[in-house]
Structure 1
Amino acid sequence: MTSTARREARITADPDVPLIRIVREFDAPRESVFRAHTEPELVAQWMGPRSVENRIDRWDCRTGGSWRYVSVHEGQEYGFYGSFHEVRPNELIVQTFTFEGMPDGVALERLVLEDIGGGRTRLTATSLVDSFEGRDAFLASGMEVGVNEGYEKLDELLARG
């Protein structure tokens, strides 16, 4: 794995449906990127902004499994949970995502990993929410910082092997 300059995730809002798309490339094989998304001890190390610590309460990453984690920021705890609907090794994860502070706001998320050659992987993640207002609130919440800092931490984790 080679070291690269800081790279930003491309985050876009679909104009026709309440969907957010994130595209990011990693200097690591897709098996490694998949493992970092499916093993709870690895997920806790990279997910979210640097100012947050994560505690995984449940992480059964298989088709039909479920998950829950808590992010701690400045002493405040924020819980998130969902279900894994489809998990295909090194290729695809489809899950739901709910913030406990807004239990009616369920997103359907799809993560696709593509081998782009040279030991590199392109991640494409989509989050479909129930309204344009919900999508725009997601974007306004500082999501971009959390995504980019989280993926920077993932780059560091992948570089360590």
Structure 2
Amino acid sequence: MTSSQTRHRETEIAADPDVPLIRITREFDAPREKVFRAHVDPQLVAQWLGPDSTRTRIDQWDCRTGGSYRYVSIHEGTEYGFYGSFHEVRPDELIVQTFTFEGMPDGVALEKLAVEDLGDGRSRLTTTSLCDSFADRDAMLASGMDVGVTEGYAKLDDILARG
């Protein structure tokens, strides 16, 4: 299957009405271990993370329990930095990390990425981001993150289809 023939699945982004949490659910036509690897290998992350209009530069990436990361999204010459710590990394299964936008350093989200094997070479990624407040959660949603997530996962589909 060539890149132009890759099927892009729907990305579901939902805000919890009772807790300042964002839940993202996405299925991939790739096995769980490949989807997980695309989230822990900095060379792969840089290829798919973010909207089509940005470029991602990985400054630091130590994806292990106790490790940390920093990356920069570059849009029309302007740089936006993001950083956090990996609190738990279980191969092919789970990542628990913090996420901070340098432009709002007091707003730290606790994120959990879980990859589920659906059989037949397919998997489901469920990500939750627990924000400090409803205001922070709503600001994250209003920032255009849905575009970055949707376009990023479409790029990931293409990477996974290439093997």
TM range, smaller chain:
over 0.9
- RMSD over aligned CA atoms reads 1.2
Provide the secondary structure at the position in 1 that maps to 2:50.
Answer: coil
Query: Deviation per CA, 1:30-58, whole angstroms, max 9, x where unpaired?
Result: 00001000000000000000110011000
Q: How does 1:134-153 map to 2 (within 5 A)?
A: 134-153=136-155
- Report the count of equivalent residues: 161
Shift of 1:135: 0.6
Aligned counterparts of 1:38 and 1:101: Cα–Cα separation in 2? 24
Structure 2: gaps (5+ residues)? none
Structure 1: gaps (5+ residues)? none
Aligned counterparts of 2:135 and 2:142: Cα–Cα separation in 1? 10
Aligned counterparts of 1:58 and 1:139: Cα–Cα separation in 2? 26
Partner residue, 1:51? 53
Q: How does 1:1-161 map to 2 (within 5 A)?
A: 5-161=7-163
Aligned counterparts of 1:84 and 1:145: Cα–Cα separation in 2? 24
Aligned counterparts of 1:27 and 1:131: Cα–Cα separation in 2? 35
Provide the secondary structure at the position in 1 that maps to 2:53.
Answer: coil
Query: Deviation per CA, 1:78-130, whole angstroms, max 9, x where unpaired?
Result: 00000000000000000000000000000000000000011000000000001
- Is the 8 Å Cα contact of residues 47 and 56 (structure 2) preserved in structure 1? yes
Output the amino acid matched with 1:156: D
TM-score, structure 1 as length reference: 0.97
- Is the 8 Å Cα contact of residues 9 and 28 (structure 2) preserved in structure 1? no
Provide the secondary structure at the position in 1 that maps to 2:105.
Answer: coil
Shift of 1:143: 1.0
Shift of 1:4: 5.3
Query: Deviation per CA, 1:2-51, whole angstroms, max 9, x where unpaired?
Result: 96543221000011100000000000000000100000000000000011
Output the amino acid matched with 2:101: F
TM-score, structure 2 as length reference: 0.96
Aligned counterparts of 1:151 and 1:159: Cα–Cα separation in 2? 12
Aligned counterparts of 2:7 and 2:106: Cα–Cα separation in 1? 39
Provide the secondary structure at the position in 2 that maps to 1:10.
Answer: strand
Provide the identity percentage: 77
